[in-house]
Amino acid sequence: MPIRTAVIGFGVSGRVFHAPLVAADPAFELSMIVTSDPARAAAATAEYPATRIVAAPDDLFAAAADLDLVVIGSPNSTHLPLALRAVSAGLDVVTDKPVTVRSGEARSLIRAADEAGRLLTVFQNRRWDGDFLTISEMIRTGRLGHVHQFESAFEWWKPELGAAWKDTTPPGEGGGILYDLGPHLIDQCLQLFGPVDEVHAELDRRRQGAVSDDDSFVTLHHGSGVRSRLWMSAVAPAPRPRFRVVGSRAVATVWGLDPQEAQLMGGQRPNDAGYGIDMSRMITISGPEGEERVPVAAGDYPSFYTGVAAAITNRMPAPVDAADAVAALSVIETHAGRTSPVS
């Protein structure tokens, strides 16, 4: 029997990521989508005619007996109350990142899920970006030597504020680019290099009228000795390399972004030929002996839901341990309220 799944929210998170990934995996049934927006409801109906579309989470929880899993893709401040309702209703839970706005809330949620015997995992999909998978393998095999510095940037050009909640919500409620991209970038370097013992952040508001950071830098010193430097920006006319990793033998550099988000947004689906692949992207390995160009592995967001299915049906470990999300959140919340005014 497939895992009967409800997706809360049909903005970018639910429409672009969760609903297509769930619908493409035969282990799941996309049973319900929750959205109060009439245009989004119409789009969901057109894309998934067999799926029930409801306007509010109350409608979902009224039908909890007909569901197994809830995917929460709504604004950050709603993650905690919705996830608590879900585990109380006997449902397993996937939340978008960040798992909650505050680490103390996240720990309480983990306890509640454990006490209820329910799965709680977090959609850290960037662990399955093709460039990250390739860089991770290079580090694991020692191809770069002993890594000293890890640089990661996620930047775009959007100089005007939009109406989306991420632009209009203050940091204390989970708004801003550190809460948006920080959970991904911080999680990646924690996965590679372990816990941190020193954190420094520079959070700026560049756009007129900004209530939260939109141009931020974080540097972490890991107990392993590696220094990670992370850039996040909505106001970069041209981006830095996506990754630049400095080792004792060589430096690895890759430009551009993993193609999966753009593919999903453009209507390509996980089972389509060429999904996750961008043949134009290469990683350059530079050292005293010259340069070598290495293909980027295919991205693989579907692996997250493969792991969710294994955790639910076979009691395997969750694809993302919720405790990992708490570790990244602890770094973020230390600095999230400390933003400089518009410059």
Same structural domain for residues 287 and 212?
yes
At residue 261's C-alpha, the angle toward residues 258 and 266, to 5°, is 125
Residue 341 falls inside a structural domain: no
pLDDT tens readout for residues 12-28? 999 999 999 999 999 99
Q: Tell me the CATH number at 231.
A: 3.30.360.10
Residue 318 falls inside a structural domain: no
Q: Using alpha carbons, list the distances in angstroms from residue 186 to 162, 163, 194, 232, 256.
A: 25, 26, 11, 11, 19
How many structural domains compose the chain?
A: 2
Same structural domain for residues 16 and 120?
yes
Write phi, then psi, for 95 (nearest 5 degrees).
-110, 150
Give just the sign of the alpha carbon dihedral 179, 180, 186, 192: positive
Asked if 47 contacts 16 with a C-beta cutoff of 8 angstroms, the reply is no
Asked if 12 contacts 75 with a C-beta cutoff of 8 angstroms, the reply is no
pLDDT of residue 339: 58
Whole-prediction pTM value? 0.95
pLDDT tens readout for residues 216-245? 999 999 999 999 999 999 999 999 999 999
Give the mean model confidence (pLDDT) for residues 18-47: 98
Same structural domain for residues 139 and 250?
yes
Q: Is the pLDDT of residue 160 over 90?
A: yes
Residue 336 falls inside a structural domain: no
Q: Is the pLDDT of residue 54 over 70?
A: yes
Q: Using alpha carbons, list the distances in angstroms from residue 317 to 120, 304, 309.
A: 11, 12, 10
The string of DSSP letters for 110-178 reads HHHHHHHT--EEEE-GGGG-HHHHHHHHHHHHTTT-SEEEEEEEEE-B--S--SSHHHHS-GGGT-SHH
Q: Whole domain around residue 167: which residue ranges? A: 130-298
Asked if 199 contacts 334 with a C-beta cutoff of 8 angstroms, the reply is yes
Same structural domain for residues 249 and 184?
yes
Residue 339 falls inside a structural domain: no
Three-state SS for 234? coil
At residue 172 the predicted structure's pLDDT band, cuts being 50, 70 and 90, is: confident
Same structural domain for residues 288 and 308?
no
Write phi, then psi, for 272 (nearest 5 degrees).
-75, 150
Write phi, then psi, for 197 (nearest 5 degrees).
-120, 0
Q: Tell me the CATH number at 7.
A: 3.40.50.720
Q: Measure the CA–CA gap between 131 and 111, rounded to whole angstroms.
A: 34
Same structural domain for residues 151 and 278?
yes
